[in-house]
Structures are given as C-alpha cells and as structure tokens.
C-alpha cells in the first residue's frame, strides 16, 4: 500500500506540543555568553562619536565591539541582474546608519541582561541626515543618496510585450487606478536566533533558519575559510514565512565573535527587534491602466511599479525580489495579449524588504483582480462573468503566458465555479438587496490566481540571482534495524514536511512511515548543497531529491538480495522490510540483514534535484463579508477556496497550509501594517500597534480540491504553502469594496478607513 495520499497525523507535532523540541533559545552550553546589539535610534545619521569605555568595564561583559573593531567585510548579495545595484551591507553600521534599528555595536556578556545593560552605557553621538521615507522623494533629482551610487535606484526594468499602444487604442473601455499594498512583516512566533560554538578554527551554528547552506556560505566567506569549516544545524524553527530565508548581519557577527573569543555565544532577538530589524515585505505602489473590448475581454495592461525596498537588499536575494517577481505574474490565469511594465526598486531609510509568503505574487494578483473588478463595473458586467470570459481554458493547456510562464495544466474555470457555488454566489444579489433594506452592508469578492512554485536553477539564473542554486538535495541512510533516516536541504519550518518526507521515503522503500526518521537539516551530512525552504518548493524540489535518493536506495537491496538468492532483480520486490521473490514470499531476505552485512556507505545515498520545469498551482478564493458601519470592522460570513496543488501527498497537511496562508492573506487585507513617520521612525513597532489576527478572526473555510498532477515534477506535486496569501487579499478587498459600494485600493483596508467610507 502506497504511503502517498494518506491522511497520516503529523509526526512533528508531539515534540512541538510537549516541549521536547529543541529551539535555539533552549540551548545552554558551558561557558556560553549572550549577545545583544545596540541599534540605531534614528533612520539616517552620520556616526560622529562612539565611546565604549564604560560599556566594556561593566560587570560580566566579555567584549563590546563596533564595525572598526570587528574589521569584517560587508555582506554583498550575489546578484547579477542587469543594471541592478547591490549595496554592501555592513555587519555593524560603519560611519553611517541607514535605518532605525540597524545594528551599530555588539556586546557579549555572561547574561543577556548584562549585555543589554552594557549597551546602555555606550556614548553615541549622531549627526542627523535627511531621512528618505517616501520612495518618490528618493527618486527626485536632488534627493540625498543613501549609498555611494549615482541614484537611489536599486533596479529599473522596462518590459513591453505585445502591441500595447495598439491595444489601448482599440479598446472599448480603459480604466486607470492607483493601487497600494502596504508594508508588513512575517512576525514568526519564534524570532531570529543562533548559537555559535567554536571548534578550533571552525565553528558550528545551531540556527533558526530556512536556508542553512546559505548561512554556512555567508559565514565562511566572512571568516575567509572554505565552507566546510562552518557547520550549520537547524534547530526547531518556530515559523519563518520567508523572513528566515535570508542571512542577516547579526548571525554572522555572532559566528565571528564565537571564533574570536573561543566560547559559545547565543543571540535570540526580542519581539521589538524582530519587528524593527528583521526583513519587511510587500510595500508597492502601482499606477495601472487596463484596456478591454466591449465584451470585457482583456486587451492590455500598462503598469508603473515602485517598490519601497528600504536601506539594503537581503542576502542572497538582493534588492530586486519584489521588483522582479510581481511583473512576471501580472497576466495571472488570464489571456492577456499586451503588457507594459516600468518597474523601479528604490532605496529608503527603512528596514530592508525581503521574502515573505507569496512574495510578489500576492501583489500581482491584487493588481489583476482589482482591475478586472474596475473593468466589470465600467462595462456593467458581473464580476464572475468577466473572469469567465478571460480565464485560460483547459483545452488551451499547457499554456504559455505573455510573460513566458509555462502553465502546466489544470482547469481554471472549474475552480472558479466550485468556489462560487460554495459561497452561494448566484443567490448573493438577492441576499445583498435584503441586507441593504435592513441597513446592513454585505459584499462578495472573487480572486483567481496562478503562481509558480518549485522554481529551478534556470529561473534564478534568469533573474540574475546567482547565489540561489534552484536545486535541493536529500540524503537517506538505512541502518541495521531497517529504519531509514533522511536529511534534506529544505528544513522544516512548521509546514509538516517531516511527515511528507517520511511518506515519500516509505513509498520508495516500501516501509511503514513510522520506520522513517526525518532529521534536522545539517550542512555536514551527505555533501548536500541546496536552496532552502521558501517559495513553496519543499514538496517539488526537496521532495524530488527525496524521491531520487529513495529510488537509488531502493535499487541496492534488490541487487544485493538478487545476488544472495541467485534471482534476477526483475523477479524481486520490496515489501514489509524484506526483499522477496515475486510469487514465492518464502524466498526472502530482511533488508536489515542486507544492511548489516554490506560495505560501509552502501546503504547511504545522496541525491540532488533541479526541477525540470516550474509547477503552477492555482485557485479561486471567494468570500462574503459584512461591515459594521459603527466600527469599520469586517466580519467574514463565508469563505470558499477551490484549489489545485497537483498530487496531494497528505490531505490534512495540504489543508493546514491553505488555512494558515489564507488567514495571513486576510490579515494583509484588513489588519497588518508597518507605518513609518516622516522621520523614518516605525510607529507600529510592537504588538500593541501592529494588528495581527487571532483564532477569533479566523473564518470557517470551505475547501474544494482539484487534483491535476504536474507533468514535470517528480511526484506530480505542485507547491501549496503560499497560495492563501496570494489569493486572499484580493478576494477580501473585492468583497469590502462591493459592500461599501466604493473602491478602496490600498491595503490594508484599516477599520478607520472603512469606518469613514461606510458613513459617507
């Protein structure tokens, strides 16, 4: 019986729920020191004086250092995107601070309390410089330059595909809107953290990271040693959502200090540090024109995109992540014959932007869905009908979009109809009329999307992100008890991959999933190198590597048993931990016996998987909301999703990913917002100010699954982890606008903004 497709309970949950899992902050080593960072209190300033004398004399302090004392090279993202500027990012601010929260000095002491108290004794003089908070100001000719560069542009791109001008000239209707997606943060339950333990000239890191091999390489480069001299082991990770896919200055500083002091060091950031200094996301402003014919069929899009990137890029993605990902998916699941994009990523005195669940694709979906709603309103068409007329049909699959995305298969119209039926769309117009007679504001919203997942080496190379491999690796070893252990380059960050990978290995080796152990990612095992866990790639890329290693490992006991039993391999099968002759089960040999007598390493296999093509999951989100005009609060009455993530390995895990991502997408639409004042000070730097949803705000989701296996992925799977954040914001935005009867084209749609509109 295959292990795939079975709703097995998550094997990772027991240690997480019982407290036996090891997180970074659980680690206590002999003679371990604790690290804290002095962070800039202002957004932009020149450091004129910094006096460490009192701090260094504080009881329990081992060292206090600045950039001059550390004398380490800055981080430079390995980005070769044409015309892209990659600013060096100092590990500690060197002469100039560029955002409030940037680390200036570091202290290592016997306790975190002592390290913090020592930092309070640093005498710091700063000469204020103009803070660029609005990217429009950053683009001005006479704006101050954040870096030694001829402008504040990180990258400027121009794309023109199809006959754009002709499309607009021929259009029956043209609409223009300015759309804004605000800035937010991942806010994982566990903030960033790392323990660094020296081993002679080498160093071992226990890290809460989504990219252990990236962290290994960045630390090795900073130390000036071969990467194998640095070992990174993943602790249990309390959420990442893309934020921990980057390498940060603090992690490298801790590693360098541990090696310098010859003692283990631990740094775990607090919540305030996480909000102000760990990577932010989204923050895009777009002016969009859309053209359609009289029947509502899309003819063209013309987009001006500005990304507020912040003070630096992030390693290894650089400063081009949002700027490059959004334009690629602007056509969405629709037939679009013409597209023009002028995109710019701009330097501002804010925390750098980086990866966040659904990076870029949530914004592109927000754009095409809001513009379809605007066109439908202008033409007097139903919102669902205009989508029906534009969706790529199943008979057109495989379909290559205008932006060269090769959609691999599926039925986009079927997903739309399933979601509409689940929320009672056909009856909603009557429901809305009755509600309005009662003085109630209810509305319906629909969002269709398609996204690329499991991106391969060609995609990252094509973007110029040469520091991202695009492939992943797995190592599987059988021991004398017949138990399999698997390591991958895609660490678990809460999404259930321990269970999923156990099912894949069990399927390959005909084992019970309980006989498979998924070990924490470890850069010292199996000679593996890989991309890491982000961009919905675990099942596609990591799972491909697991299946490749499992396939090779499956071959070896068959060969060895064939030699022992003097039977052709074709006449043997694996079943229940034994190799047996087909049709003669008595003629068999236990796998554990083969392992025990084999040459060392015979039953340990590493494999690498570079997906031959990108996979394209898709979905339709539809929801009905009610607005309280007295408070501006939004209550979701019904929410339905019809999705296709290819072959489903474990249904409850797939549904858990959809639930979590959708709630985050709803939060993007209604709650979460990082707001800076005119001086570059973050005004929403605590959970008193930064509004996140709780279980009380989570709606009941109705899920329908289409299951179109990908023809190119190793197991027919497509990614699923990000889809909710891609589809939900536009669906909720559409429903709120429909309820109000006016457009709200800025996310989040705060209660205050909705309250004002509801009362006009």
Sequential DSSP letters for 206-265:
EE--S-HHHHHHHHHHHHTS-GGGEEEEE------TTGGGSB-HHHHHHHHHHHHHTS-E
B/e letters for 590-612, b = 16+ CB within 10 Å, e = fewer, are bbbbbbeebeeebbbbbbbbbbe
Q: What H or E segment, with its residue span, contains residue 34?
A: strand 33-39
- 462: phi then psi, degrees, rounded to nearest 5: -65, -30
Q: How far, in Å, CA of 34 to CA of 440, rounded?
A: 56
Q: What is the pLDDT of residues 715-736, one digit of tens each?
A: 999 999 999 999 999 999 999 9
Average pLDDT estimate for 207-215: 98
Predicted confidence band at 256 (pLDDT cuts at 50, 70, 90)? very high
- pLDDT of 2 strictly over 80: no
Average pLDDT estimate for 357-369: 97
In the chain, list all ranges with CATH 3.90.1170.50: 17-129+189-239+243-277
Q: How far, in Å, CA of 750 to CA of 669, rounded?
A: 8
The CATH number of 280-455+613-758 is 3.30.365.10
Torsion of the alpha carbons at 346, 348, 352 and 358, rounded to the nearest 10: -50
Q: What H or E segment, with its residue span, contains residue 63?
A: strand 61-65
Q: What share of residues in the chain are helix, strand, coil (percent, to 5)?
A: 35, 30, 40
Q: How far, in Å, CA of 92 to CA of 65, rounded?
A: 9
Query: For residue 158, with 0-12 CB atoms within 10 Å meaning exposed, 13-18 middle and 19 or more buried, which class applies?
Result: exposed
Average pLDDT estimate for 228-246: 97
Percent above pLDDT 90 for the chain: 95
State how far the alpha carbon of 504 is from the alpha carbons of 21, 282, 494, 497, 596, in Å. Answer: 23, 34, 18, 10, 24
Q: What is the pLDDT of residues 511-532, one digit of tens each?
A: 999 999 999 999 999 999 999 9
In the chain, list all ranges with CATH 3.30.365.10: 280-455+613-758, 471-609
Please identify which residue in the block is written with the tokens 């226990």.
Answer: 206
Average pLDDT estimate for 101-109: 98
Predicted confidence band at 201 (pLDDT cuts at 50, 70, 90)? confident
3-state secondary structure 382-435: CHHHHHHHHECCHHHCCEECCCCCEECCCCHHHHHHHHHHHHCHHHHHHHHHHH
Average pLDDT estimate for 606-634: 97
- Please answer whether residues 194 and 208 qualify as being in contact, where contact means their C-beta atoms are separated by less than 8 angstroms: yes
- pLDDT of 606 strictly over 90: yes
Cβ neighbours, 10 Å, residue 367: 26
pLDDT at residue 276, rounded to an integer: 98
pLDDT at residue 52, rounded to an integer: 98
CATH architecture of 471-609: 2-Layer Sandwich (3.30)
Looking at mean pLDDT, say which of 336-350, 559-573, 685-699 comes out highest.
336-350
pLDDT at residue 355, rounded to an integer: 97
Percent above pLDDT 70 for the chain: 100
State how far the alpha carbon of 134 is from the alpha carbons of 99, 143, 348, in Å. Answer: 13, 11, 7
Q: Which residues contact 635 (CB under 8 A, 6 or more apart)?
A: 625, 626, 627, 628
What CATH number matches the domain at 17-129+189-239+243-277, 1.10.3210.10, 3.40.50.970, 3.30.470.20, 3.90.1170.50?
A: 3.90.1170.50
Asked whether the CA dihedral 101, 106, 107, 108 is positive or negative, the reply is positive
- pLDDT of 1 strictly over 70: no
To the nearest whole number, what is the mean pLDDT of the chain?
96
Average pLDDT estimate for 88-102: 98
Average pLDDT estimate for 147-173: 97
Average pLDDT estimate for 666-670: 97
Average pLDDT estimate for 236-250: 97
pLDDT at residue 576, rounded to an integer: 84
Query: For residue 96, with 0-12 CB atoms within 10 Å meaning exposed, 13-18 middle and 19 or more buried, which class applies?
Result: middle
Average pLDDT estimate for 446-460: 97
Average pLDDT estimate for 370-374: 98
Give residue 488's Cα distance to chain centre.
Answer: 18
Task: Give the closest residue to 445 by CA, choosing from 621, 607, 213, 309.
Answer: 621
Stretch among 470-474, 478-482, 544-548 having the lowest mean pLDDT: 478-482
pLDDT at residue 759, rounded to an integer: 81
Average pLDDT estimate for 557-569: 94
- pLDDT of 475 strictly over 90: yes
Q: How far, in Å, CA of 181 to CA of 616, rounded?
A: 24
Q: What is the pLDDT of residues 731-752, one digit of tens each?
A: 999 999 999 999 999 999 999 9
Query: Given the DSSP bridges, would you call strands 339-347 and 153-161 parallel, antiparallel or unpaired?
Result: antiparallel
State how far the alpha carbon of 658 is from the alpha carbons of 349, 454, 618, 661, in Å. Answer: 35, 17, 12, 5
């Amino acid at each position: 019986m295959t292990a795939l497709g079975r709703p097995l309970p998550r094997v990772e949950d027991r240690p997480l729920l019982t407290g036996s899992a090891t997180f970074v902050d659980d680690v206590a080593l002999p003679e371990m020191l604790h690290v804290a960072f002095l962070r800039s209190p202002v957004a932009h300033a020149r450091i004129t004086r910094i006096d460490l004398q009192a701090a260094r004399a504080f009881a329990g302090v081992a060292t206090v250092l600045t950039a001059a004392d550390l004398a380490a090279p800055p981080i430079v993202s390995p980005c070769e995107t044409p015309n892209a500027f990659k600013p060096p990012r100092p590990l500690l601010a060197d002469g100039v601070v560029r955002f409030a929260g940037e680390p200036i000095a570091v202290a290592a002491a016997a306790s975190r309390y002592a390290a913090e108290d020592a930092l309070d004794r640093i005498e710091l003089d700063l000469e204020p410089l103009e803070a660029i908070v609005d990217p429009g100001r950053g683009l001005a000719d006479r704006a101050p330059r954040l870096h030694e560069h001829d402008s504040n542009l990180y990258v400027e791109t121009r794309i023109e595909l199809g006959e754009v001008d002709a499309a607009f000239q021929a259009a029956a209707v043209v609409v223009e809107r300015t759309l804004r997606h605000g800035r937010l943060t991942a806010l994982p339950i566990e903030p960033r953290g790392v323990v660094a333990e020296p081993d002679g000239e080498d160093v071992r890191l226990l890290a809460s990271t989504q990219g252990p091999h990236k962290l290994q390489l960045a630390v090795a480069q900073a130390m000036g040693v071969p990467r194998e001299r640095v070992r990174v082991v993943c602790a249990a990770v309390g959420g990442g959502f893309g934020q921990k896919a980057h390498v940060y200055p603090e992690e490298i500083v801790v590693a360098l200090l541990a090696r310098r002091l010859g003692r283990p060091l631990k740094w775990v950031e607090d919540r305030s540090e996480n909000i102000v200094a760990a990577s932010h996301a989204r923050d895009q402003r777009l002016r969009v024109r859309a053209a359609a014919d009289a029947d509502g069929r899309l003819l063209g899009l013309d987009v001006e995109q500005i990304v507020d990137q912040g003070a630096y890029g992030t390693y290894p993605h650089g400063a081009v992540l949002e700027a490059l990902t959004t334009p690629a998916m602007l056509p969405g699941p629709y037939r679009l014959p013409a597209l023009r994009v002028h995109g710019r990523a701009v330097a501002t005195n804010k925390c750098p932007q980086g990866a966040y669940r659904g990076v870029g694709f949530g914004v592109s979906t927000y754009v095409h869905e809001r513009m379809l709603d605007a066109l439908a309103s202008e033409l007097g068409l139903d919102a669902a009908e205009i989508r029906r007329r534009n969706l790529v049909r199943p008979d057109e699959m495989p379909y290559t979009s205008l932006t060269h995305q090769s959609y691999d298969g599926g039925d986009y119209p079927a997903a739309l109809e399933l979601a509409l039926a689940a929320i009672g769309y056909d009856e909603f117009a009557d429901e809305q009329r009755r509600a309005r007679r009662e003085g109630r504001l209810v509305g319906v919203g629909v969002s269709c999307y398609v996204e690329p997942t499991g991106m391969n080496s060609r995609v990252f190379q094509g973007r110029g992100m040469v520091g991202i491999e695009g492939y992943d690796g797995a190592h599987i070893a059988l021991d004398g008890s017949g138990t399999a252990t698997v390591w991958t380059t895609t660490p678990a960050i809460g999404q259930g991959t321990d269970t999923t990978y156990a099912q894949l290995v069990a399927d390959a080796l005909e084992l019970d999933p309980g006989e498979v152990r998924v070990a924490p990612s470890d850069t010292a095992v199996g000679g593996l190198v890989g991309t890491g866990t982000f961009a919905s790639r675990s099942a596609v890329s990591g799972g491909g590597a697991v299946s490749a290693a499992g396939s090779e490992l499956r071959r070896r006991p068959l060969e060895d048993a064939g030699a022992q039993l003097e039977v052709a391999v074709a006449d043997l099968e694996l079943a229940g931990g034994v190799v047996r002759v087909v049709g003669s089960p008595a003629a068999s040999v236990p796998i554990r016996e083969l392992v025990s007598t084999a040459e060392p390493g015979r039953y340990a296999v590493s494999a690498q998987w570079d997906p031959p093509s990108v996979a394209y999951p898709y979905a339709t989100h539809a929801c009905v909301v009610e607005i309280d005009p007295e408070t501006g609060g939004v209550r979701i009455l019904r929410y339905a999703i019809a999705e296709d993530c290819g072959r489903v390995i474990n249904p409850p895990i797939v549904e858990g990913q959809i639930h979590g991502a959708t709630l985050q997408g709803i939060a993007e639409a209604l709650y979460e917002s990082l707001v800076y004042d005119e001086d570059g000070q973050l005004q929403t730097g605590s959970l008193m100010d930064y509004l996140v949803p709780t279980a009380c705000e989570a709606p009941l989701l109705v899920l329908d699954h289409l299951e179109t296996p990908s023809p190119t992925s190793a197991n027919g799977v497509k990614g699923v982890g990000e889809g909710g954040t891609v589809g939900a914001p536009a669906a909720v935005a559409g429903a709120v606008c429909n309820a109000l009867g006016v457009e709200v084209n800025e996310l989040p749609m705060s209660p205050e903004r909705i309250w004002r509109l509801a009362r006009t």
